[in-house]
Structure 1
Amino acid sequence: MEKTYTLRPSFSPNGSNYTIPYDKDLTDEQLPVVKSQGGPSLVIAGAGSGKTRTITYRVAYLVESGVPLHNILLVTFTNKAAREMKFRVEGLLRRDLKGLWAGTYHHIGNLILRKHAKKLGYDKNFTILDRADSKDLFDKSIKEAGIDTKTRKFPKGDVLQDVYSYIANTLQPFSEVIQNKYPHLFEFQAEILPVFRKYEEAKLAQNLMDFDDLQTKWLYLLQNHPEVLAEYSQKFEHILVDEYQDTNLIQSQIIDLLASTHRNLMVVGDDSQSIYSFRGAEFRNIIDFPKRYPNCEIYKLELNHRSTPEILEFANDSISNAVERFEKILRPVRKRGVTPALASFQDVYKQASFVAQRVLELHDEGIPLSEMAVIYRSHYHCLELQMELTRRRIPHEVRSGMRLFEEAHIKDILAYLKVFHNPVDSLSWLRILKLIPGVGQKTAEKIVKLAKNSAEPLNEITKEFVSSNVSRGSKEPFIKFQALIKVLSQMINNPSIMMSTIVENGYADYLRMTYPNGGMRIDEIEELSNYAKEYDIEGFLSTLALLGGASAEEIAQTPQEKQKESVVLTTVHQAKGLEWKIVFVIWLAEGRFPSYLTFNNPKELEEERRLFYVASTRSKDQLYLTYPIVYHSREGEIVLKASRFIKEISEHRYEKWLVEDEKPVFKRDDNDNFTISGKEDDAISWDDYGEFKESAVQSKKETGIRKDKFFWEK
């Protein structure tokens, strides 16, 4: 009987196996992290401090120190990050990394679960459900639970999927989650639980797992099968975790279990950038790491390679007000530049005009559109800006969601207006009729045919005999629809009030039951409603149609064009980890950023502060901070104040800009004829992106106040 025993090089920093010049390639902060001798360690990596570089060099150092690839586990939050890190390590070592365990929690969980599927009652060839398939299975489970969704409102599969996933990722009790996060579903509690059971039964019976299972069942496997835990905790001699501030409780527990044997665990993250609690991330994972590992080493990466000193001073000032954090001060590598600018505006339209005009100026100065970004708290905050950029034919890419004109709820609400403006618009009639519970394509077509054969379709569709064409179960909601049509016909010249009335009479409930982000969609319609106040129904629909046409045909025609020459519009959450030369952070008004929904929740308010910090640290060269003073809501004018996050910062950290409309210049010639114009030497052409030409903007500094004036040719 023979046994092979392999000797590998000792883990010695002074050995002769090192080919990478670590001392030369790394900063004084990064080097100790890379050469750490093991044990638990926490790396607080500030924004722009070279986190990815540090992790990749750490992996390379472990390999050169003799640690076999299959004994190293690198966990990232995205597949892209894992691929990038592996590629970089391969470049450093000049060798293939086959055998290295690297990937997301879902990727690693999938590998382990397939090997041990039998222990959970699954076959190893189980199918992983994507979000669309999971939603379909929830819809099927609703039917199998005997719930009638045709004649009454009940949350759709998308919404239940969101609830289920949040519970799975936070390990919170069902009733607690409903009460605190989904109060609008409170009345359905007793019916939702049986749906969840049907969903679980269907997955097991059909050998299916969803993305949440790849984590929850992985944790269950480690907790309930000691032999599995022993196998992997012994296997992974060194574990590295990226973006640790974004981990949820399940992920944290999995990592702690895997590190329980060797305890060579290095977690890397930034507590000041923990912004994903809405999807289950637990801030306390990183904050309490030293409590769970009392003897851990704490390293700090504070040297920022991205931003100018002025931007970093602003960002440091903002996060210094956080109630609980690891102390750190970002230090610049770059030379001094431009002071961040703060500007307030009469309303959201002036704010949008400023951003659009400044984008044109900066592009004229040679800055590519792709190096500019507009960042905001919520997707609906960009509505007026989308309108303005589209009107000026400035290419832009909306990363926070679909373009305004492509979103289903916007199409729904506009379909209502269209049938009043053009009562024989069959497509719009079909769209709104199919929103009625129990009314499908055939029934809708039958009703539309009746209406079209009448001289007055609007009156015809509200007649009592029309309701006989719908099923018994759909009769009550159809009669409510007829009543709504009658009400709307009395306000046909006020599209703003029409939209608000539609939302208040059932459509808001429909959105909440249909979409996980139903509340945000309601907010978007309210923004559009405010925009419509200046129009009658014909003017409003015509304006949107023209803007929509330009958006589709002229603004970003190809993915390549979009990527190369487009201003980026994005929420803070989707901007995390990215950088641009120029960044505008808009809607910095109290109640919007931070959101008024967080005012009574200290924990959520602290996350809002971290959101602001993330937004501020995306900029490399210039940072613009803006907010409107007056907001026109359904209740009337609301006067807004600057965000508390601005007020907390020392005034010498930013420059206040006063923005005014430039008054026309009157010129008189020798014959006493007057002409009106802007300043000729201020002309800015935009021939590359359409016919629009702008005349304007001369900025001048007076006692620290900068004045930007607007005037454009009609």
Structure 2
Amino acid sequence: MELTPHQQTVARYQEGHALCIAVAGSGKTTTLAYLIKNLLHSGADTRRAMVMMFNKSAQLDFSEKLQSLIRASLPEATAVPEVRTYHSTGLRLLKSLEQWGLRPPYERQPMGEKETELLIKDLIFKLAPDGMKDRLKSDTAKYIESVIQFIDSVKSYLTTPEQFFKDNHYPDEFRFYQQVFHAFEQWRHQHRRITFTDMLYDTVCLIQQHPEYLPRISNKMDYIIVDEYQDTSTLQHQFTRMIAGERARVVAVGDPDQTIYEFAGANIDNILNHFEQDFGQQANVAQLTLPHTFRYGHSIAMAASHLIAKNKARKNVICLAHNNNQPSNIEITQSQNETDSLINALIKHLQQPEPESLAVLVRVWAQAVPIELSLLERGIAYHSDGPSLFERPEIDALIAALELSSSQLHFMNIDQRQKRLQRLLTLPHIGLKHHLTEQLINQLKTLEGDYGKVLSQYSEKITGISDYQRKKLAARGKVWSYLEKNGDSETASRLLNNYIIQTELRDSLQSMSLNDQRTEEQLLAIDGLMAYIRQTNSSPTECYQHITSLKQKSRERSRNRAGNQIITLSSSHRAKGLEWPVVFIPGLTGKYWPFVRDDELANSTGNNLEAERRLLYVAMTRARKTLHLFTCAGDINTPSANWAQDKKVTPSRFLAEMSLPAAISFSQHLHNNDDTALLQAIEKNGLSRQSRLYLKAVRPELAESISKAPSRKDILSQEKKHSYHKARSHPARQVVLSSLNTNATGDSHAPWQKNARIRHSIFGSGRVIEVNDSNFVIFFDDQQYGVKRFARTDQVRHLFEIA
């Protein structure tokens, strides 16, 4: 294999410490394998070279690639450096520390997921305030997950639970998390157990407590190569420093633009600042780059580069498509019913003679609810990397309401009925203490009907509760009676909507909130289910039967998971490290991208907003051939002034940041090697700063012309002045001057001429079928785009040309 000049520079590096920024699809692992081969060829001792991969899968893949390369190019080599993970290295050192007497030997096998969850559950109910315990009961799994994440985060950041609680602004009512942390650690040390995180955490803590043992583990290596450094935690960074000491030359490889696991402890400052600060104390840190991707063409590379360039917390590296790459295609679908558009696009893809694998990447799993329901309904096979939508507590609560309204509890055995009644009473929670709720369920589970009536009667007789709780109990009985009486007379959507309002389900979820984003996702999941049910226009009984059939199909799909499915439904987070020929990204609206708290929306430079850009950048760069973006109607080329206030109906601001018209237009000329057409397009449309940097990098022979080309801002300014003078010179067509940025001039070369044939830079050819004072309508030849309306503004003129 012939390496590129940038890859050769990395592969031949043998000096001091180095930080290598490698873009998505840059051939990073191959380059690292060549680096190690060259080190061995230069006489490096395999026993004093350490290669650190981020997880077991990456470790196995890289080990195989490295061994294959060494066998082929260095047949005399008898060994290769051991490829490890952080946790396996930490565990090995931890056992040594125990053998040296720093503590008694602990159980080597880490605690299993189930064992940890059961212990945390016991501690939560033991240590939580009495007023919290009913809420904990309503969604225990959620609180267990939250506490485990809290404990792991404290350890990943090498801080105290008290400091982490304060720094992350947890509500005061969750202060018991700190007690759970200490109780968990006390139990763990008493029973001599470790978790997965403790393989590193205990090792670092023991060395910090006994610094005299540091020389026995430090300065033993000549070379340390660490992959995916953008995903390292503070704990892992400090562990690397301890192992390296002053002897090892450390090469850290990663991409800060792909830092998306901060919720799991990843610290982007490690690759942005800490590596150079900490390792640069001994010598200068060399700056290496792998800027060329071999995964996709110029259109995706340019769009992704434009997007991520808006971030401030990054290295100044541009993702460049290698000139030998095949062209990639970006498609945009704007519609009012995104799920239907996406399903239709999937069907069209599957109808191809040999459809390639395709991934639908969601921002939050709530987006998958209507998509999965539609896929199941139509019998379209797919694989999902996420949780079953029917196991979501908020979805299950609404299904339980359907069961009550369609008299399904009558046909259940007592155990089944008890579980469904518990769901109906705990989400939203009835507000009673646990023992009273259990007492009530035990009375109701023997009945075969009239649950609402009995519940109302019970509210009058029960003692030891407040007037507020009594009213709440009576109100729930009234809602249940409504469900039971109207199951045959109202549609399922109307019935459930009233149920959601009367039980204050949404308010209940928000009041129990551990995490604003998680709660927002629960509310969006409810919206997704309700939107689907409205489309069925069915009765509660019909809807229940339909949902039951979909649940059965879902179970069958799970049993047949081993099948080779073309469609994968996954999240943008889980897609990291993977790639597909075709990628669909739905929900590119202010509702999902960026998915941040409302009080942070206006802060365009906030850390959360930058994290959202990084996540979308990762999702976009999973595609090899086609990237299909789905959004709502609206202007996708100009950021909305009110996107934060009108999230649900506004195209995501990220679409405008991608500079799609420029990315698509310039990429065509680049792949066609038509420099004349490229320069003409540059002169006509101007260049943004990012476009200028990109084009100079991929066409260095045109650098002088590209440097002299007008800016995009200047071109827009000239067009605006031209529009102004045209308006002044044609009084009959003069527009209000303050509105020139949204109204059009009347020149004959504008794209808004009735019946004119025009070509749009994204949607292709079409015919203008309607023109009025403020906008114009085009019927596109490609049926997937159909009819679209555009504002009569000179700011969109560059998107069109006369066909």
Which TM-score tier does this pair reach, normalised by the shorter chain? 0.7 to 0.9
How far is 1:80 from its partner?
A: 0.6
Where does residue 58 of structure 1 map in the other structure? 35
Matched, 1:309 2:298: yes
**Which whole-Å CA distance do the structure 2 matches of 1:318 and 1:505 have between them?**
34
Structural mapping, 1:16-35, within 5 Å: 25-35=2-12
For 2:628, what is the secondary structure of its paired residue?
strand
Residues 396 and 556 in structure 1, CA contact (< 8 A), matched pair in contact too: no
Where does residue 675 of structure 2 map in the other structure? none
Question: Higher mean Cα deviation, 312-321 or 425-434?
Answer: 425-434
1:372-402: CA deviations, max 9, x gaps? 1111211111222212222221111121x21
1:513-556: CA deviations, max 9, x gaps? 69995553343223323434454533432332233333333x56
Matched, 1:365 2:342: no
How far is 1:484 from its partner?
A: 1.9
**Cα 1:547/1:49, change in 2 over 3 Å:** same
1:427-467: CA deviations, max 9, x gaps? 35533326645359985773244422x6x343124322897
Matched, 1:701 2:765: yes
Residues 329 and 625 in structure 2, CA contact (< 8 A), matched pair in contact too: no
**Cα 1:467/1:186, change in 2 over 3 Å:** farther
**Which whole-Å CA distance do the structure 2 matches of 1:381 and 1:465 have between them?**
39
**Which whole-Å CA distance do the structure 2 matches of 1:105 and 1:32 have between them?**
27
Where does residue 588 of structure 2 map in the other structure? 588
**Which whole-Å CA distance do the structure 1 matches of 2:307 and 2:288 have between them?**
22
How far is 1:43 from its partner?
A: 0.9
The count of residues paired between Structure 1 and Structure 2 equals: 627
Where does residue 613 of structure 1 map in the other structure? 617
Matched, 1:486 2:478: yes
Q: 1:560 aligns with which of 562, 572, 578?
A: 562
1:86-143: CA deviations, max 9, x gaps? 1112222238987844322222111111121265533144441133222222223345
Matched, 1:546 2:549: yes
Structural mapping, 1:60-99, within 5 Å: 60-94=37-71
- Aligned residue identity for 2:379: R
1:244-266: CA deviations, max 9, x gaps? 01111111111122222214000
1:542-597: CA deviations, max 9, x gaps? 332233333333x5652321xx1231111111111111111111111124201242
**Cα 1:565/1:549, change in 2 over 3 Å:** same
**Which whole-Å CA distance do the structure 2 matches of 1:82 and 1:584 have between them?**
29
Question: Higher mean Cα deviation, 539-548 or 70-79?
Answer: 539-548
Matched, 1:417 2:426: no
Q: 1:355 aligns with which of 319, 342, 352?
A: 342
**Cα 1:358/1:531, change in 2 over 3 Å:** closer
**Cα 1:236/1:482, change in 2 over 3 Å:** farther
Matched, 1:234 2:219: yes
**Which whole-Å CA distance do the structure 1 matches of 2:79 and 2:466 have between them?**
60
**Which whole-Å CA distance do the structure 2 matches of 1:275 and 1:80 have between them?**
18
Where does residue 396 of structure 1 map in the other structure? 382
**Cα 1:367/1:312, change in 2 over 3 Å:** farther
Residues 556 and 566 in structure 1, CA contact (< 8 A), matched pair in contact too: no
1:671-706: CA deviations, max 9, x gaps? xxxxxxxxxxxxxxxxxxxxxxxxxxxx97327956
Structural mapping, 1:375-524, within 5 Å: 375-399=361-385, 401-422=386-407, 423-426=409-412, 427-433=416-422, 436=426, 438=434, 446-452=442-448, 456-464=450-458, 480-481=472-473, 483-490=475-482, 493=490, 494-499=495-500, 501-502=502-503, 504=505, 508=509, 512=513, 517=518, 520-524=521-525
Q: 2:237 aligns with which of 230, 252, 257?
A: 252
How far is 1:316 from its partner?
A: 1.9
- Aligned residue identity for 1:313: M
For 2:570, what is the secondary structure of its paired residue?
strand
**Cα 1:573/1:367, change in 2 over 3 Å:** farther
- Aligned residue identity for 1:166: S
For 1:266, what is the secondary structure of its paired residue?
strand
Question: Higher mean Cα deviation, 236-245 or 305-314?
Answer: 305-314
Matched, 1:46 2:32: no
**Which whole-Å CA distance do the structure 2 matches of 1:65 and 1:460 have between them?**
84
**Which whole-Å CA distance do the structure 2 matches of 1:379 and 1:328 have between them?**
31
Where does residue 205 of structure 1 map in the other structure? 190
**Which whole-Å CA distance do the structure 2 matches of 1:345 and 1:291 have between them?**
49
**Which whole-Å CA distance do the structure 2 matches of 1:571 and 1:526 have between them?**
19
Matched, 1:331 2:321: yes
**Which whole-Å CA distance do the structure 2 matches of 1:556 and 1:706 have between them?**
40
How far is 1:25 from its partner?
A: 4.1
Matched, 1:321 2:324: no
Structural mapping, 1:130-141, within 5 Å: 130-141=112-123
Residues 231 and 259 in structure 2, CA contact (< 8 A), matched pair in contact too: yes
- Aligned residue identity for 1:279: A
Question: Higher mean Cα deviation, 479-488 or 35-44?
Answer: 479-488
**Which whole-Å CA distance do the structure 2 matches of 1:417 and 1:552 have between them?**
20
**Cα 1:311/1:465, change in 2 over 3 Å:** closer
Structural mapping, 1:174-193, within 5 Å: 174-175=161-162, 177-178=164-165, 181=168, 183=170, 185-189=171-175, 191-193=176-178
Matched, 1:645 2:654: yes
For 1:497, what is the secondary structure of its paired residue?
helix
How far is 1:193 from its partner?
A: 2.7
- Aligned residue identity for 2:35: R
**Cα 1:706/1:644, change in 2 over 3 Å:** farther
**Which whole-Å CA distance do the structure 2 matches of 1:316 and 1:367 have between them?**
31
Residues 53 and 86 in structure 2, CA contact (< 8 A), matched pair in contact too: yes
For 2:339, what is the secondary structure of its paired residue?
helix
- Aligned residue identity for 2:86: Y
Where does residue 684 of structure 1 map in the other structure? none
How far is 1:40 from its partner?
A: 0.6
Matched, 1:157 2:144: yes
Scaled by the length of structure 2, what TM-score is found?
A: 0.71
Residues 383 and 561 in structure 2, CA contact (< 8 A), matched pair in contact too: no
**Which whole-Å CA distance do the structure 2 matches of 1:292 and 1:581 have between them?**
40
**Which whole-Å CA distance do the structure 2 matches of 1:513 and 1:643 have between them?**
27
Where does residue 575 of structure 2 map in the other structure? 575
**Which whole-Å CA distance do the structure 1 matches of 2:436 and 2:197 have between them?**
33
Residues 588 and 630 in structure 2, CA contact (< 8 A), matched pair in contact too: yes
Question: Higher mean Cα deviation, 27-36 or 45-54?
Answer: 27-36
How far is 1:268 from its partner?
A: 0.5
**Which whole-Å CA distance do the structure 2 matches of 1:360 and 1:572 have between them?**
22
Task: Output the aligned Cα RMSD.
Answer: 3.6
Residues 306 and 659 in structure 2, CA contact (< 8 A), matched pair in contact too: yes
**Cα 1:539/1:143, change in 2 over 3 Å:** closer
For 1:74, what is the secondary structure of its paired residue?
strand
Where does residue 661 of structure 1 map in the other structure? none
**Which whole-Å CA distance do the structure 1 matches of 2:132 and 2:422 have between them?**
14
**Which whole-Å CA distance do the structure 2 matches of 1:117 and 1:541 have between them?**
58
- Aligned residue identity for 1:604: N
Residues 594 and 613 in structure 2, CA contact (< 8 A), matched pair in contact too: yes
**Which whole-Å CA distance do the structure 2 matches of 1:420 and 1:331 have between them?**
57
Residues 19 and 285 in structure 2, CA contact (< 8 A), matched pair in contact too: yes
Q: 1:602 aligns with which of 599, 606, 628?
A: 606
**Cα 1:511/1:333, change in 2 over 3 Å:** farther
How far is 1:425 from its partner?
A: 4.8
Instruction: Flag structure 1 segments of 5+ consecutive residues without an equivalent.
Output: 1-23, 631-635, 657-698
Residues 585 and 630 in structure 2, CA contact (< 8 A), matched pair in contact too: yes
**Which whole-Å CA distance do the structure 2 matches of 1:495 and 1:272 have between them?**
43
For 1:374, what is the secondary structure of its paired residue?
strand
For 1:463, what is the secondary structure of its paired residue?
helix
- Aligned residue identity for 1:114: K
Identity %: 23
Residues 304 and 658 in structure 2, CA contact (< 8 A), matched pair in contact too: no
For 2:83, what is the secondary structure of its paired residue?
strand
**Cα 1:700/1:152, change in 2 over 3 Å:** closer
